């Protein structure tokens, strides 16, 4: 998929809604032992990259330095029809001192206002460094189940129509 096609998918209103939502991403990567992993993780969207922050010595940081290929999904759970944004890309890991401001701002999406000040103080006291994981999308697909469907379902519907 070329960059323009990826950008078009990510610019769609439903994609932008999902990228700005409080829904955690489900990040999939390959662990050091070769087994797949999928984890929920908070994120922020820069307009070009999906960015996350984590503990520098976490298993995912070690694994992503070994194999940077990832997939992630951001999807609704309670709405009908479901909305699913799938992204694949390559992760870059960088250590930064302290707690990056975008991490704090992204956390505002999920930490209730009443708890935010205490949460932020705790995070700033805990982390001397954080690992920033930046994903450059090289593939994206939006499934809204109204205008876009999984490829296998599209193929099945086409075959059914041609057979009728």
| Mean pLDDT score across all residues of the chain | 93
- The pLDDT assigned to 78 comes to 81
Q: How far is it, in rounded angstroms, from Cα 99 to Cα 59?
A: 19
pTM: 0.88
Residue 65 pLDDT class (50, 70, 90 cuts): very high
Q: Are 146 and 13 in contact (CB under 8 A)?
A: no
CATH topology of domain 3-163: Pnp Oxidase; Chain A (2.30.110)
């Amino acid at each position: 998929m070329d960059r323009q096609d990826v950008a078009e998918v990510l610019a769609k209103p439903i994609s932008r809604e999902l990228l700005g939502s409080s829904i955690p991403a489900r990040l999939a990567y390959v662990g050091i032992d070769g087994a797949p992993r999928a984890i929920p993780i908070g994120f922020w969207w820069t307009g070009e990259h999906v960015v996350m922050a984590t503990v520098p010595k976490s298993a995912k940081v070690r694994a992503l330095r070994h194999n940077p290929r990832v997939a992630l999904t951001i999807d609704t759970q309670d709405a009908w029809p479901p909305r699913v944004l799938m992204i694949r890309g390559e992760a870059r890991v960088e250590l930064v001192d302290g707690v990056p401001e975008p991490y704090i701002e992204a956390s505002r999406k999920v930490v209730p206002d009443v708890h935010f000040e205490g949460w932020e103080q705790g995070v700033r006291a805990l982390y001397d460094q954080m690992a920033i994981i930046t994903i450059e999308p090289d593939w994206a697909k939006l499934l809204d189940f109204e205008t876009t469907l999984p490829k296998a379902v599209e193929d099945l519907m086409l075959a059914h129509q041609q057979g009728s």
